[in-house]
């Protein structure tokens, strides 16, 4: 059973479109991280959210942590080709090792 359900698994869009990636669980997390990974490279930490209802913005990326700290979303406005990559969410519960979602593979076409 996957602790963290991430959707969609694949996304192929045109430059300029908006998109949202979801990360859902039945468990409460103490914090949740979002990463972006380009092919052949390691995941790069984008943001950590810790407070229920928290919203963080990173340029055109908006991250939200659900009120109950069981889910999170990543919204990208006006996607660019440089946004192409694998997006991973990871949820931490106390001192346990964070659990990763299955990832969303995003391709942004010019």
Per CB under 8 A, residues contacting other proteins are 30-31, 33, 35, 39-45, 48, 86, 88, 90, 92-98, 100-103, 105
Shortest Cβ distance from residue 76 to other proteins (Å)? 19
Shortest Cβ distance from residue 4 to other proteins (Å)? 9
Shortest Cβ distance from residue 11 to other proteins (Å)? 12
Using DSSP, state whether 83 is helix, strand or coil: helix
Which residues, including other chains, have CB under 8 Å from residue 107's CB and lie 6 or more apart? 11, 12, 13, 84
């Amino acid at each position: 059973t996957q602790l963290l359900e991430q959707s969609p698994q694949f996304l192929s869009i045109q430059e300029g479109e908006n998109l949202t990636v979801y990360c859902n669980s039945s468990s409460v997390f103490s914090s949740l991280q979002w990463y972006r990974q380009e092919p052949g490279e390691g995941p790069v930490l984008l943001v950590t959210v810790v407070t229920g209802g928290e919203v963080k913005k990173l340029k055109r990326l908006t991250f939200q942590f659900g009120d109950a700290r069981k889910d999170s979303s990543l919204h990208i406005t006006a996607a660019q080709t440089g946004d192409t990559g694998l997006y991973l969410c990871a949820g931490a519960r106390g001192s346990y090792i964070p659990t990763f979602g299955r990832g969303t593979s995003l391709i942004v076409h010019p």
